[in-house]
Chains A and B, each alone.
Chain A
Amino acid sequence: MNSENKANQTENPFLPEPARIVRTCHLTEDVKFFQVRIADMEKALSFRYRIGQFAMISVLGAGEAPFSISSTPSRPGLLEFCIRKTGLVTDALFGLKENDMIGIRGPYGNGFPVEQMKGKDILIIMGGLGAAPLRSVLLYCLDNRDQFGRVILLHGAKRPAEMLLIEEFLSLKEREDLECLLSVDQDDTGKWTENIGVVTTLFPKIKNINPSTTYSMVCGPPVMYKFVLNELLKFNIPKDQILMTLERRMKCGIGKCGHCAIGYLYTCLDGPVFTYWDVIHMRELI
């Protein structure tokens, strides 16, 4: 039980904080990048979050929905989101421009266990929009590079035009302290110089994984999990060191509305980060 929150009976936890869109641009045809700052400067700087947490974003007249935070808490002040146009709230968000106002509340959820991950090797596997929450992990590890062992990134997309933040990831290939492996299922441009094939075709390129000291993070479309998890088990990475972050319907973010319930857990409080063991144990997770 979180005594800090329990004590707070004066503030309405459903009240969003006004925030300004600082920058927005298309990443792919249906995914946009949003850089947002809470209007009150003090509050913008004191918005403390952990990697893997999410925020509720509201658009006046359209509603409110949960979104993974794609920026890293090691760079406070601005919040970044990668958002796919897929429903009422996101339709409204896509109609907004720089300097338009939205509402934000959070951060919510458990996030990734940073303390346990310190000193360990980090293996990040992202597919499609799975880059949204895991970019936060990657940037955090790079900003605190001395605190982690190897950092390995596998990033897959259907086509080059559908790879989120493609320039950012291509430029990361220059870094010597990061093993950055990118892949597309199909190259329809003829200019792709990286791997071609589903994300699992990158696994043979990773050498000398030490399973007991490796934490792996996976996020992507549902079809990806089965194959990727299989590869990770072949590496003998312990099931409680394989972490994934899940999507569920949420109306509150704070364990009241019920929609994200899985068994006796709430994705918004006990997740969205779950271990592979949780997934086997709870049955309904993926």
Chain B
Amino acid sequence: MKIVKLKEANLHSFLEEISKEADLWAPVKAAPDRYKFEFIQDLNKIDTDCTRTILPPRKILLPPSINMFQASEKEYKEDFSHVSKKIIFGIHPCDIHGILIMDDFFSHEFYDPYYMESRKNTLLLGHSCWPDENCLCKSTRTHIIKEGYDLFFSKLKERYIVWIGSSKGDDLIRTKANLFEEDISDKDIKEYAEWCDQREKAFQTEINFDALGDLMELMYNDPLWEELGNACLACGSCSNVCPTCNCYNVADRPALEKKYSDIKRCWDACTLESYSEVAGGENFRKKRADRLKLFYTHKFQAYISKYGKPACVGCGRCVATCPVDINVKTVGKSLDGEKVDAFWKRLSKEVTK
């Protein structure tokens, strides 16, 4: 692999140069302790200390609502206005893994042009990160990334080691080649190795994901699900913040005179009540417990049987987001026989009394 070095002080001139060619997206501070990916017009707003953004970067590839067609009696006009040349800077290993899962999902068997065209026009510039107590990516083995990015920036003291992952990534480096150094010194290597060691030790939460698929099966009828269902608000937030939730809804939005109709595609969530409802009112998952089972089957089990790995990339967004603390951490731990979290203490006091 081709590896170069960049002084931290030169980062902005590099980003400025490449943002001439494409829309640059990066994490910015949205509120104290809250970050979001934003289209960057002022490089000083970029915050590389961000642990996680509120929404995953899939919102950049496939926004919450897009128009698929403008349909009239004459024709269905395809609408790809959400597709443009983009560069996402500051994306962490877990989120790159999330995008790789989406890439596979939207291209296998049938090719979904609305995601894939957007993806083909997007370059991923990864950035190293430091875990907090909600990061589960070491357990999902997505805390490191070896492929899938175009460039990856590993932060050391006042400089970056830049891993070049693709030919297009190399082209980006060449737009400002004079900013980069080719020689990686022994000091760099030593510092990088130390950083890796310390980061491995910084993870505070571990879950045995290998066992969760089997445990989902064994505990399919466990009262646990009813307890969780009773507490769940069915708000859909866990899906909205998940990097591997792909579900969407489609709706016609006819113009007043009905001459044409916009056909909209919007994010959907399997925890919402209408998700499995068919015409006539029959609902295959009327109960919140059944809908939670579907969500966690997807995260813990479905991918293990198909791809040998869970669909959860351990980003911790559901942990940070769920208002009633139902998330991969609490559900995973309780499937594994632990009900020690504050969540369970509160649940047994408030909800099940």
Contact = CB atoms under 8 A, between A and B. Distances in A.
Interface of A: 1-2, 5-6, 8-9, 12-16, 60-65, 84, 86-90, 101, 103, 222, 247-249, 251-252, 254-259, 261, 263-264, 269, 283-284
A14 B279 CA distance: 21
A1 B109 CA distance: 6
Contact of A86 (B111, B247, B279, B301): B279
Given A13-B111, A251-B249, A257-B247, 20 more contacts: A1-B109, A5-B110, A13-B113, A15-B69, A60-B71, A60-B73, A64-B250, A84-B280, A86-B279, A90-B279, A103-B76, A249-B276, A249-B277, A251-B248, A252-B250, A255-B110, A259-B247, A259-B249, A263-B297, A264-B303
Nearest to B306: A264
B82 interface: no
A259 B276 contact: yes
B168 to A, nearest CB: 19
A62 B276 contact: no
A222 B261 CA distance: 35
Given A61-B252, A258-B247, A249 B108 contact: no
B71 A248 contact: no
Interface residues of B, number: 48
A14 B277 CA distance: 22
B200 to A, nearest CB: 32
Contacts of A249: 275-278, 284
Contacts of A264: 297-298, 301-303, 305-306
Nearest to A64: B250
A263 B71 CA distance: 34
Contacts of B268: 257-259
Nearest to A221: B282
Contacts of A254: 109-110, 112
B107 interface: yes
Given A2-B109, A64-B250, A90-B279, A15 B284 contact: no
B246 A256 contact: yes
Interface string B71-86: 1110010100000000
A60 B253 CA distance: 10
B246 A8 contact: no
Nearest to A250: B278
Contact of B68 (A14, A62, A90, A258): A14
A12 B116 CA distance: 11
Nearest to B107: A6
B111 A6 contact: yes
Contacts of A251: 248-250
B115 to A, nearest CB: 8
Contacts of B211: none
Interface in B262-305: 268, 270, 275-280, 282, 284, 290, 294, 297-298, 301-303, 305
A176 B252 CA distance: 49
18 contacts: A5-B109, A6-B111, A8-B111, A63-B251, A87-B279, A90-B279, A247-B282, A248-B276, A255-B110, A256-B110, A256-B248, A258-B247, A259-B249, A261-B270, A263-B297, A263-B301, A264-B301, A284-B284
B279 A63 contact: no
Interface string B55-72: 000000000000011011
B323 interface: no
A266 B106 CA distance: 14
Nearest to A84: B280
Contacts of A14: 68-69, 114
Contacts of B112: 13, 254, 256
Interface on chain A toward B: helix, strand, loop, or mixed SS? loop
8 nearest A-B pairs in the assembled complex, by CB-CB distance: A87-B279, A258-B247, A61-B254, A264-B302, A254-B110, A86-B280, A86-B279, A61-B261
B220 interface: yes
Contact of B298 (A63, A247, A259, A261): A261
A248 B275 CA distance: 10
B280 A87 contact: yes
A257 B249 contact: yes
A101 B68 CA distance: 20
B294 A261 contact: yes
A86 to B, nearest CB: 4
A284 B289 CA distance: 13
A255 B294 CA distance: 16
A191 to B, nearest CB: 30
Interface centre among B248, B249, B284 (most CB of A within 10 A): B284
Nearest to A15: B76
B258 interface: yes
Given A258-B247, A259-B268, A6 B108 contact: yes
A15 B279 contact: no
B246 A62 contact: no
Nearest to B290: A284
A162 B248 CA distance: 36
Nearest to B281: A86
A258 B76 contact: no
B353 to A, nearest CB: 31
A259 B76 CA distance: 24
A145 B336 CA distance: 56
Nearest to A89: B279
A14 B247 CA distance: 15
Given A1-B108, A251-B249, A261-B270, A60 B280 contact: no
Contacts of A87: 279-280
Nearest to A62: B252
Interface in B288-333: 290, 294, 297-298, 301-303, 305-306
